[in-house]
Amino acid sequence: MGIKYLLWLNKFYKHYTFLKRIKIIYQTYRLAIDLNKCFSMDLQGTVKKMREIYMGIQEKPILFNTFSVKAILEGKKTETRRLNGLKTINENPDDWHLMDLSLNPELMNLKTGREYIKKGLIATFEWDGYGEIYQNIKCPYFVGQKLWVRETWYEFNEMPYYKAEERYKEEDVHNWKWKSSIFMPKKYARIWLEAIEVRVEKINQISDNDVILEGFKTREDFYKIIIKLNKAKNPEEFLNKWCWVIQFKRICND
């Protein structure tokens, strides 16, 4: 029985290896097609396409609440803070310090001792405890990336309506059931942004100037809203967490 099982396992492994090779060949084929498209464009188009290939998703959705959408439309908000991917660090934020934030850094595999290049904008954190322990976290955003805003919306007769607009009268919308921004499709996006700066810091390290860029007049107002949005049970602990700071500008979607 044991020999039959080993023979079956060996056969399964061969099939798995074969399928894995097919997948690699297909990915290489797709990359070749993309490269061929690149070199058929002008130099500027080639650079742009190569950036899309190696940097990941060029266009990405980003959620904003109604208050923030209004501030963006009025030109009062040009910065946002996000916690995506920082959960491990934020379990004990004071035990980690930021060592580096760089694009496509050359890192070392501590197990093999070999160096490798990690693609993307990478934040390297070092543990302040005993031993050399690091966390290399890829930022979900990068400078030059286009972001299309998802906002609270409603669809009627295949036409989108947005809660952030104040032109709707109460009698017009009282029967409407506003849809969550997370479900808004890309085709209805009316606000496009471009990330112009990305950095890492703790929420409570926000400067007075950044409070204004966030669309608030005072630090207390900013703290109140961000705590409410994230449903933080312990405000003091929450404000001590690490976050990505994305500064952006409005652009037209070509």
Of 37, 55, 73, the domain-final residue = 55
- Give pLDDT tens digits for 114-123: 887 888 899 9
Whether 27 is in a domain gets the answer yes
In a domain, 68, yes or no: yes
pLDDT digits (tens, 9 = 90+) for 228-239: 999 999 999 999
Tell me the average pLDDT across 108-112.
73
Own/partner pairs, 127-134, CB within 8 angstroms, 24+ separation: 127/95, 127/96, 128/94, 128/95, 128/96, 128/97, 129/95, 134/99, 134/110
3-state secondary structure of 201: strand
Domain interval for residue 44: 2-55
The residue-averaged pLDDT of 45-73 equals 76
Q: What is the pLDDT of residue 157?
A: 85
Please indicate, yes or no, whether residues 77 and 41 belong to a single structural domain of this protein: no
Task: Please name every residue paired with 102 in a beta bridge, in sequence order, or none if there are none.
Answer: 122
Structure-block tokens of residue 68: 């923030």
Return the beta strands (E) in the chain as ranges: 59-63, 79-82, 96-103, 106-108, 115-117, 121-127, 134-138, 146-150, 153-156, 159-162, 192-202, 242-251
pTM (2 decimals)?
A: 0.73
Same domain, 8 and 74: no
Q: Both 144 and 73 in a single domain? A: yes
Q: Are residues 75 and 199 in the same domain?
A: yes
DSSP assignment letter at 111: T
Contact 88, 135 (CB under 8 A): yes
- Inside any domain, residue 204: yes
